[in-house]
Amino acid sequence: MTDADAGTPQGDETGVTAVLADTFLSSLGVCTHVGQGVDAPTPSATALSFAGIRNIRDDGNPAHIADWIAMHASSGVRMSLLTNQDITSTVTMATELNAAGALLDVEGPNEPNNEPVTYEGATSSSTTFVPVADFQRDLYAAVKSTAALRGIPVFHSSEAGGSEPDDVGLQFLTIPTGAGIAMPDGTEYADYANIHNYVCGHSQVLSDNVAWNASDPTLNGDWDGLYVEYGKTWNKGYAGYANADLLTLPRVTTETGWLTMGTGAITEEQQARVFLNLYLSAFTRGFSYTFIYMLRDDPVQGYWGLFDTSYDPKTSGTYIHNLTTILADTAGGAPLKLDYVIMNEPTTVHDLLLQKKDGTFHLAVWDDRPTGGSDTVIVDLTKVRPKVSLYDPTMGTLPIGTMQNVSEVMLTLTDHPVILEL
């Protein structure tokens, strides 16, 4: 009996190495406001389960530890714990969450350019971020020295590198030797760079490749991307990492999104399609985690949500549910190869090869053309494939077509992904 006869997953000898679907699904996050008393834990957990989103980011508040643990128990979500600017309290909260399996990471201060940091009797200002640097350094050291938090990563302070008024090295994860800046060489701040590259950008205008470009690690464009936070800082132009280093820098985005009501708003349908592209683009371009702002609409904080004020899914909540349902999988399996090529792939068309633990491939192909129009591409599968099913997350969770014994598939793409299962 051959391995194939025994049911062993089979791939091609050459081609593209897949990423496990579980790894991609584990990158999906959203910002919640349970810690502020805005979002209720139970309906929030229900919404998260529906959407298939595995991570939340919330404000550190000891009064809500039990709520987050309950949300983890019911929906499986893990938390990016945003510090409350008290190191001892943050570590205590993190330890409780981690003991329950509910902790993803510990995160430094949120946007110190907008929310000043007070530490050891000093407060950050428009002239100095020394308190931010001291706090982030000591938070990192405290997490790493706590045995109960072994293996838990630390996310950098968001927007801190790009906005620092004095060069205290917040544009680095670890200050390199010979940097010649205010903090000592070797100062350790974080395991992951952390940006707020809102896909709407500063112009809040839909454009082709908007999700792809917002996730570009070296682009100095309309978004607060990795380059202006960790390459050459946007406030004072301090030097950080070279472009070659930015390409491999461990990174997350803890806020990105686009609102559906108010200045610069897009329609719910447009938001939903952009968000599908956004999650796929960010992961493909090297972001380990992407947190969309935010779970549900709020009249005070804005209509950015995947769900409305009543926790009912907006179009984006439904489409993300469809995507995560199509790709649903758990950890396991070893990545295999699939030999394929997209012929004459236009600059707005992108692809990501995923694989479930049973060996089934799911090839996501999307066109980042929210301004209109379409592109027709041919996916050359290099040899005859017995069965290929086509899914469209804007149309539901079931295949919209199935092909038998095909070696190529023609796709007409517009502004969202389709998925080939084979």
Domain at 22-326: CATH architecture: Alpha-Beta Barrel (3.20)
Q: Where are the domains of the chain?
A: 22-326, 335-421
pLDDT tens for each residue of 209-267: 999 999 999 999 999 999 999 999 999 999 999 999 999 999 999 999 999 999 999 99
Q: Which helix (H) or strand (E) holds 86?
A: none
- How is residue 125 written in tokens? 């200002």
Write out the DSSP string of 133-177. HHHHHHHHHHHHT-GGGTT--EEPPTTHHHH-SS--STT-SBPPT
Q: 405 vs 8, 15, 31, 385, 389, CA distance in Å?
A: 21, 19, 44, 5, 11
Query: In 234-383, which residue ranges form alpha helices assigned H by DSSP?
Result: 243-246, 268-284, 315-326
SS3 280: helix
The list of the chain residues with pLDDT below 70 reads 1-8
Three state DSSP letters for 10-21: CCCCCCEECEEH
Q: Which helix (H) or strand (E) holds 375?
A: strand 375-391
Q: List phi, psi (to 5°) of 47.
A: -65, -40
Domain at 335-421: CATH architecture: Sandwich (2.60)
Q: 94 vs 69, 78, 119, CA distance in Å?
A: 11, 11, 20
Over pLDDT 70: what percentage of the chain? 98
Domains 22-326 and 335-421 are alike in CATH topology: no
| Residue closest to 234 by CA, chosen among 260, 197, 286 | 197
- Would you say 317 and 49 are in contact if contact means Cβ atoms under 8 Å apart? no
Provide the pLDDT for residue 8: 65
Cβ atoms within 10 Å, residue 284: 18
- How is residue 389 written in tokens? 């099913």
The C-alpha torsion from 232 through 233 and 239 to 241, rounded to 10°, is -60
Q: Which helix (H) or strand (E) holds 253?
A: strand 251-256
- Residue 380 burial class via C-beta count within 10 angstroms: exposed 0-12, middle 13-18, buried 19 and up: middle
- Would you say 197 and 230 are in contact if contact means Cβ atoms under 8 Å apart? no
Residue written as token pair 């701040």: 189
- List Cβ neighbours of 408 (8 Å cut-off, separation of 6 or more): 378, 379, 380, 381
Half-sphere CA count of 307, side-chain side, radius 13 A: 22
- Would you say 421 and 361 are in contact if contact means Cβ atoms under 8 Å apart? yes
Query: In 197-300, which residue ranges form alpha helices assigned H by DSSP?
Result: 210-214, 226, 243-246, 268-284
Question: What does the angle CA 247 – CA 374 – CA 30 come to, to the nearest 5 degrees?
Answer: 50
Cα separation, 186 vs 355, whole angstroms: 39
Gyration radius of the chain over CA positions: 22
pLDDT tens for each residue of 31-59: 999 999 999 999 999 999 999 999 999 99
Beta bridge partners of 389: 402, 421
Cα separation, 30 vs 245, whole angstroms: 27
- How is residue 197 written in tokens? 């590259």
